[in-house]
Structure 1
């Protein structure tokens, strides 16, 4: 089975966010998560965004790696 690697910008597109370099920088600068808050429980996600992230992690989908990267970037 081929392992698909999604770029960070593609995850932002999937979440309906600005996927430009500046857009990603802006999002990461303005959204921080304390260690005790799970990524999928962040207050800035819509229900659909949180569901996508949760499913991607639970199913260990091809999105899981880049979702983990997002999680680390928000800390």
Structure 2
């Protein structure tokens, strides 16, 4: 049973990244995502992170909403 919180800090934890608010803000500020690039294709992910993001979106999984939110923040 998955008891993870499917929010932005939870997504960062799933991706193996620091999940504290200042760390999330710093990541977003330093990793711009070009509008024509899918989030899972961004060059700053490792293979495992990219695969997780793609699977979450392809399967419209519980993480999909958080992945979409992160994509929007990185594209801003």
TM-score (norm 2): 0.90
Paired residue for 2:70? 70
Q: 5+ unaligned residues in a row in structure 2: which ranges? A: none
Matched, 1:42 2:37: no
Q: Secondary structure at the match of 1:71?
A: helix
Question: How far off its partner does 1:34 sit?
Answer: 1.1
TM-score (norm 1): 0.91
Give the number of equivalent residue pairs: 72
**Distance in 2, Cα, partners of 1:5 & 1:57:** 17
Paired residue for 1:32? 32
**Structure with more relative contact order (C-alpha pairs < 8 Å, separation 6 or more):** 1
**Runs of 4+ with >2 A deviation:** none
Q: Secondary structure at the match of 1:74?
A: helix
**Distance in 2, Cα, partners of 1:67 & 1:55:** 10
Contact 1:5 1:62 (C-alpha < 8 Å) held by counterparts: no
